[in-house]
Amino acid sequence: MFGSPTAREALQQLTILRWLAVGGQSLAILGGAFLLDLSIPISLLLLGPTVLAVFNIGVHARLKRYPGPAKPAEVLLNLVVDVGVLTTLLALTGGPSNPFFALHLVPVALAAVALPLRWVIGAVVVTLCGASSAVLFHRPLPSELLDIDSSVYRLAVWCSFALCLALLSVLLVQLATRSRQQAELLQQMRERSIRNESVVALASQAASVAHELNTPLSTVANLLADLRRDFDTDPELGADLRLMQSQMALCRDYIREMVEFSRADAVARPQPTAQVVDTAVKQFRLLHPEVDLAVRGVGLDAGAVLVDRSVVHLLVGLLNNAADASRQSGARRVELDWGPGGRGAHFRIRDFGPGLSPAHRELAAAYGFSSKPQGLGLGLALGHMTAERFDGALSLREAEGPGTIASLELPFVRHAIDDRTGSAT
């Protein structure tokens, strides 16, 4: 079994702390021997930082060569080495009377942040054994430091306290940050689960409604065909009947697409971004011939996105919402800008309506919310689900001037897609 990703993070943190320990220990040993002229076994003490440096090089090479997650046992092994070196250095320089004896707390704190409970208990046992060894088997402090009221000793105590405080603060801040992130992720997952349950219930009803609508739609289509034959000579009525017939055909296409999309072999496939935009624009102009749609974009020869019909429906739905919003302010204008942006294709749809209030923008993704009096509250909720399903994002923001801007981002396809399975190869 692979370990938790936090174990790898702990190893990375340990390599940084270990380099700091190597530098700090070396300076303390050399400073005590040459600046303070303390009678300490300098050669034996310098062996500790040397062991840590060699070990740290090995850990760094392991992390670079194997980028996968680490196991908690690796972290505990690293802590054993760190505690062993620290215990040896403290035992050679006064044991419990050494001002830096409190540094034994740092490995336990790091283990508590990154490891499961049983491994934390192991780290506590290792640290306790190391501290006990330094208490039982230690050389006394050099005679120059036996006076605990000396300024050098008090400075060392302050440095030890400041170092422990800084390290523990960093670890606790990381723990608090991770807890907040997990709480936010849990809340998002809970909201997504509630939304998905509502959509599954809607899908079961939609399947039944699609089956029931097929017969009346066929009847209406036949009646429209008869009416066109009888009144085709009337220019105004004939144009209305042709528009009704084309929109009726579009409704029947939607139902057929719904059935095809529900099949197990219906998979998403890569399509050029320009083709996706062209299909959505044609459907929208058929539904809203009275709306002035301005389309601005660039050709993306190498920019294919992984889509199915739901993405086209999403774009059409966003354009429909923009058209409805513009009509609320007496405008008949909608803008669609598309092109490369970030890591994929970016679609920007602007209306010229009254805009959404900040409270409405926060509720826009909620299932059942609609700012329109006769709205069903499905469009934006389904839009967010569709964007998330293709690893994209949908957002709303206020435009500079009247209206609202809906932004849809979809990642470019990086690999070839198997037409039979829809899996990346």
pLDDT digits (tens, 9 = 90+) for 393-420: 888 888 887 888 888 988 887 654 443 3
Inside any domain, residue 164: no
N-to-C CA span, the chain: 26
**Same domain for 20 and 107?**
yes
Inside any domain, residue 178: no
**Same domain for 205 and 255?**
yes
Inside any domain, residue 388: yes
Average pLDDT of the residues of the chain: 78
Inside any domain, residue 176: no
**Same domain for 253 and 275?**
no
**Same domain for 84 and 110?**
yes
Choosing from 261, 283, 314, the residue where a domain stops is 261
Instruction: Answer yes or no: pTM beyond 0.85.
Output: no
Inside any domain, residue 180: no
**Same domain for 27 and 106?**
yes
Token pair for 334: 């909608």
The share of the chain scoring above pLDDT 70, in percent, equals 78
| Each residue's pLDDT tens digit, 133-168 | 988 888 887 665 555 556 777 887 888 888 888 888
Give yes or no for a contact between 336 and 348, defined as CB atoms under 8 angstroms apart. yes
**Same domain for 25 and 110?**
yes
**Same domain for 337 and 364?**
yes
| Each residue's pLDDT tens digit, 280-296 | 898 888 888 888 999 98
Inside any domain, residue 114: yes
Choosing from 146, 174, 197, the residue where a domain stops is 146
CB atoms within 10 A of CB 232: 13
The residue with greater pLDDT, 366 or 186, is 186
**Same domain for 218 and 296?**
no
* Region for 308 from its dihedrals, namely left if φ exceeds 0, alpha if ψ lies in -120 to 50, beta otherwise: beta
Say whether pLDDT at 369 is over 70: no
Give yes or no for a contact between 110 and 170, defined as CB atoms under 8 angstroms apart. no
Inside any domain, residue 49: yes
Exposed / middle / buried, residue 79 (Cβ in 10 Å: 0-12, 13-18, 19+): buried
**Same domain for 235 and 289?**
no
Inside any domain, residue 183: no
**Same domain for 275 and 399?**
yes
Buried b (16+ CB within 10 A) or exposed e, 128-140: eebbebbeeebee
Residue type at 181 in one-letter notation: Q
**Same domain for 256 and 275?**
no
Supply the CATH number for residue 304's domain. 3.30.565.10
CA 21 to chain centre: 34
Choosing from 217, 236, 261, the residue where a domain stops is 261
CA 39 to chain centre: 56
The residue with greater pLDDT, 3 or 67, is 67
Q: What stretch of H or E contains 212?
A: helix 151-231
**Same domain for 127 and 48?**
yes
The residue with greater pLDDT, 188 or 48, is 48
Work out how many domains the chain is built from and give that number: 3
pLDDT band at 57 (very low <50, low <70, confident <90, very high): very high
Domain that holds residue 85: 5-146
